[in-house]
């Protein structure tokens, strides 16, 4: 089973990488981009075949390592 984790900075946390991308897009002529938030996607190949157990395991992974839950939020997607 595959799991995909989407990690983003929480609303209100400054995103300097996103701001740099927004500025670069403007420099390249892409006007009208008012904001950019940059995150990361982590794909995991799991041996687990039970969807509920897989989601629980990946959630624990996120809480312990994959996301800094103080400033980041995450969403788990099983694919």
In this prediction the pTM is 0.88
Report the domain count for the chain: 1
Question: Residue 35's pLDDT is what?
Answer: 96
Question: Residue 5's pLDDT is what?
Answer: 98
Question: Residue 59's pLDDT is what?
Answer: 98
Residues in CB range of 1: below 8 A, 6 or more apart: 45, 46, 47, 48, 49, 51, 54, 78
Residues in CB range of 79: below 8 A, 6 or more apart: 2, 3, 4
CATH number of the domain where residue 8 is located: 3.30.1280.10
Q: Which residues of the chain have pLDDT under 70?
A: none
Domain that includes residue 59, residue range: 2-78
């Amino acid at each position: 089973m595959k799991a995909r984790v989407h990690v983003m900075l929480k609303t209100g946390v400054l995103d300097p990488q996103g701001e740099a991308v927004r500025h670069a897009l403007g420099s390249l002529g892409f006007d009208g981009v008012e904001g950019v938030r940059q995150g990361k996607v982590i794909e995991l190949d799991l041996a687990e075949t039970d969807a509920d157990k897989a989601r629980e395991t990946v959630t624990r992974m996120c809480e312990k390592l994959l996301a800094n839950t103080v400033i980041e939020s995450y969403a788990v997607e099983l694919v």
